[in-house]
Amino acid sequence: MESQPYAGQVALVTGAASGIGRAVALRLAREGAAVALLDVDAAGAAETERLVRALETPVRTVAVTVDVSEAAQVRAAVERAVAALGTPAILVNCAGISRGGPVANLDDDDWERVQAVNLRGTFLCCKAVTPLMTAAGYGRVVNISSGTGVRVGPGSGAYAASKAGVIALTKALAGELATAGVTANVVAPGITDTAMTRGAFGTRAAIEESARTGRIANPMGVVLEPEDIAAAVAFFALPESGRITGQTLHVNAGAYMP
């Protein structure tokens, strides 16, 4: 059996139906956490639930369908997760979308939707869950931003603004929760092979080419896997990471060194 640093804890993971969110949920579950799997994609979340139940040491789990941009849905989803599993010790906000284009051509609705899911969704989930953590005197919040939230290129205005916002929001939260036993940190992934990147690049080969030679190339010349990002999330979620807060950890194979 692997080490179980999260045994007895509940983790709530958004975007858990796919990619990085699924890898985070599986990593935390493998190491003992009961996992609430929140996503707008019910079928994908059900598949993650199946994978959690198939682990060598299965943990309690529940899949909850929710659009994280809708306040009432978020409150109901958190209530459902708490009723099923108990108060979350860990909150990981992975749900996200990417829509792009130069500012002059950017569709207003695309701008709104990207902010609504990536930034408002993160805010709403933090707002719903952190009071429970404060009341319990313990919590680990990990928000997923992006390298694009810091190193911004042309055509990424909506996405970059939302991801820069996630970093700023997390810093504010870290200060507010500092004396409550609750930390808030950011993981900023580089180019990672998920449905989101497959949608943008088309093929694994095109993602690899971009990692080697594109604008966001990295010196290792590698494409990251969702498990690489999950490892950084798991680090922030550890009980012994309690003195680390308000930080952004870039997992990008050296593409950007702040």
Separation of alpha carbons 195 and 192, rounded Å: 9
Q: Is 145 exposed, middle or buried (0-12, 13-18, 19+ CB in 10 A)?
A: buried
Rounded CA gap, 203 and 124, in Å? 34
Smallest gap from residue 93 Cβ to ligand NAP (A): 8
Which of 6, 138, 159, 256 is the catalytic position?
159
Q: Please say if 159 is a catalytic residue.
A: yes
CB nearer ligand NAP, residue 32 or residue 189: 189
Distance of alpha carbon 41 from alpha carbon 209, whole angstroms: 29
Question: Looking at beta carbons only, is 20 or 34 nearer to ligand NAP?
Answer: 20
Which of 82, 136 has the CB closer to ligand NAP?
82
Q: How far is the CB of 157 from ligand NAP (least distance, A)?
A: 15
- What is the rounded distance in angstroms from the CA atom of residue 9 to the CA atom of residue 21? 18
Distance CA 48, CA 55 (A): 11
**CB nearer to ligand NAP: pick between 66 and 177:** 66
Shortest distance, CB of residue 22 to ligand NAP, whole angstroms? 7
Return the closest-CA partner of residue 170 out of 210, 132, 231, 118: 118
CB 31 to ligand NAP: min, Å: 20
Q: Which residues lie near ligand NAP (CB under 6 A)?
A: 14-15, 17-21, 39-41, 44, 66-69, 94-98, 117, 121, 144, 146, 189, 191-192, 194-197
Catalytically active residues are 159
